[in-house]
Amino acid sequence: MSDAAQFFCFKDGSLQLVTSPPESEVVLSVADSWLADEGRVRNLQAHFSRFGDWVRQITDVCDEQLEPFFDAVREAIPNQGRWFPRIEFHGEATTPNHLFLRLREAPEQLGPITLWTYPDTDPRHNPTVKGPDLSLCLQVRRAAQMHGADEAVFLDERGNLIEGALSSIVWWRGDVLCAPDHQTKWLPSITRQEVFAIAEQMGIRTRTENARPADLVELEIWALSSLQGIRLVRDWIDLGGPVGPAKHLESFQKRLRLQLTAID
């Protein structure tokens, strides 16, 4: 494993480099990841809190066990370069150690994105937790790429938008920022929370609603993720019409970048 993709197990109070693959297939029960750019991150504690909440849903791990892991992860993230760390909880690990860090170099910053609607119902088994369906979502994204898109979008049984395979989707109706409602089974996106908080700080109205892809024709649409931040949707295959131009993008991207702070 190269320095760009190191794998660590949290054992005896410290992160220890794993030099050989596990003997059995890894069961990725929980995962969380974020961008670290020159030693700065956005809302790292929010990622730790979300990860901890998910882990406590499936096991009796307590804060006294998680906090030393989080402290070790903070110390392990390099202060130079772009990195995309991922913390993992392996629910069926063959050893008593279940917490891991995968330290990866971040891919380049990407521009506008093309979406493709996944043609079947949402295939995920646990859409509200990142980890169990991560491999499946990567496969679905590859299917989108085969159709000339960058990202796949899941719909519910009524045909309403849920989210992207590895992103959250929001849109603008005039000067109102919109997203799927809170009854939708989507991953609790930290970037979506950040974007909505920015809107509130700017005095911009927000709302949640049920919407089908065709309802978004000629609207400004964004795909959000912790890695890429805000990406403008430039095209949506089979949407039924064009997407709208960027009217609010620059100001939000600037404010999102301002939320980068040094790792504690």
Higher pLDDT, 217 or 23: 217
Tell which residue, 32, 95, 42, 38, has the closest CA to residue 66.
Answer: 32
Distances (CA, A) of 124 to 52, 76, 121, 156: 21, 32, 9, 11
Q: What is the mean pLDDT of the chain?
A: 92
For the chain, helix (H) and strand (E) counts, in that order, are 5, 17
152: pLDDT strictly greater than 60: yes
Q: What is the pTM of this model?
A: 0.93
Q: How far apart are CA 49 and CA 138, in angstroms?
A: 24
94: pLDDT strictly greater than 70: no
24: pLDDT strictly greater than 90: no
Q: How far apart are CA 181 and CA 161, in angstroms?
A: 10
- Judged on CB neighbours under 10 Å (0-12, 13-18, 19+), 126 is middle
Quick one: pLDDT at residue 206?
98
Which residue's structure tokens are 């299917």?
143
Q: How far apart are CA 256 and CA 191, in angstroms?
A: 9
Distance from the Cα of residue 163 to its chain's centroid: 11
Q: Map residue 148 onto helix, strand or coil.
A: coil
Q: How confident is the model at residue 2 (pLDDT cuts 50, 70, 90)?
A: very low
Q: Report CA torsion sign: 10, 14, 20, 23.
A: negative
Percent of the chain whose pLDDT exceeds 70: 95
Q: How far apart are CA 192 and CA 194, in angstroms?
A: 5
The mean pLDDT value for 10-30 works out to 81
5-19, 47-61, 135-149: range with highest mean pLDDT: 135-149
Q: How confident is the model at residue 65 (pLDDT cuts 50, 70, 90)?
A: confident
Tell which residue, 189, 264, 171, has the closest CA to residue 227.
Answer: 189
52: pLDDT strictly greater than 80: yes
190: pLDDT strictly greater than 50: yes
Distances (CA, A) of 146 to 114, 122, 166: 12, 19, 16
The mean pLDDT value for 53-78 works out to 90
Read off the amino acid at residue 180. P
123: pLDDT strictly greater than 60: yes
Q: How confident is the model at residue 4 (pLDDT cuts 50, 70, 90)?
A: low
Quick one: pLDDT at residue 96?
64
Quick one: pLDDT at residue 183?
82
Quick one: pLDDT at residue 25?
60
Quick one: pLDDT at residue 264?
72
Structure tokens at 164: 């992207």
Tell which residue, 225, 216, 138, has the closest CA to residue 187.
Answer: 225
43: pLDDT strictly greater than 60: yes
Tell which residue, 43, 65, 41, has the closest CA to residue 52.
Answer: 65
Q: How far apart are CA 87 and CA 36, in angstroms?
A: 13
Distances (CA, A) of 111 to 108, 114, 163, 230: 10, 10, 19, 9
Q: How far apart are CA 28 and CA 30, in angstroms?
A: 6
Percent of the chain whose pLDDT exceeds 90: 83
Tell which residue, 130, 185, 123, 190, has the closest CA to residue 152.
Answer: 123
Q: How far apart are CA 141 and CA 260, in angstroms?
A: 28
63: pLDDT strictly greater than 80: no
Tens of pLDDT, residues 222-263 = 999 999 999 999 999 999 999 999 999 999 999 999 999 999
Quick one: pLDDT at residue 95?
61
Q: How confident is the model at residue 1 (pLDDT cuts 50, 70, 90)?
A: very low
